[in-house]
Amino acid sequence: MEATWGNHKVSKLLASSFFLLGFGSNDLFQSRPKSEADVAVLYATLVSNYSAAITDLYGMGARKFGIISPGPVGCVPRVRLLNATGACNDGMNRLTMGLAAAFKSGLATTLSPTRLPGLTYSLADSFAGTRANFDNPQAVGFVNADSACCGSGRLGAEGECTRNATLCSDRDVYAFFDNVHPSQRAAELGAQALFVDSPIQITAPISFKELAHER
């Protein structure tokens, strides 16, 4: 880019661009903390890694960050398999909420104006923003909020979404497309909530829409 446009133009482009970052979900899927001490170490490590990544991007010229915390990881079909009833896994959801709280606290230091001048950000509470999909799925048009549209076995989550997997007839009424990822409609609802914010105010200190218009 610098070779084509020059350093000054690229710097202006990066400074005005909206950098969207999602964090934590895959880390939580791969983690199995056995004690409170393990949880504390996990949180500290992840917050440090995420903070370093944001600082690196800032050093490259990024100035506007939309940051999305993990959603209800305990409610994805693959994790629901851990419960005989197919209910959300409360332990995993508590771990998710704890990480979001730890990161929010860490941001206060990492993204302080004195440390990173000129940086603006919005932190989205994806857990709160998508929880309605599971508490009252019919209210947002979902017929199924616990199973995968594409997969196999119990909850459609025991097998991956492959060419030979079972596919639902209408993916738009499912909250999940496969055993871990949201359907396109669920993703659209989440994006709309983040951009304009919702009555429960899931973004802070400003909405993504306000961040996008920051100059």
Q: What count of residues does the chain have?
A: 215
Picking from 181, 66, 71, the residue whose alpha carbon sits closest to that of residue 129 is: 71
- Dist. CA 183–CA 186, nearest whole Å: 5
In sequence order, what are the beta bridge partners of 152?
159
Residue 178 has a pLDDT of: 98
Q: Tell me: the pLDDT tens digits for 162-190? A: 999 999 999 999 999 999 999 999 999 88
Spans of the chain, pLDDT less than 50: none
- 2-212 CATH: 3.40.50
- Dist. CA 66–CA 54, nearest whole Å: 11
- Dist. CA 82–CA 61, nearest whole Å: 43
Phi, psi of 176 (to 5 degrees): -120, 135
- Dist. CA 152–CA 166, nearest whole Å: 6
Q: Which two tokens stand for residue 18?
A: 């909206």
pTM of the model: 0.87
Judge residue 215's burial from the number of C-beta atoms within 10 Å of its C-beta, 0-12 exposed, 13-18 middle, 19 or more buried.
exposed
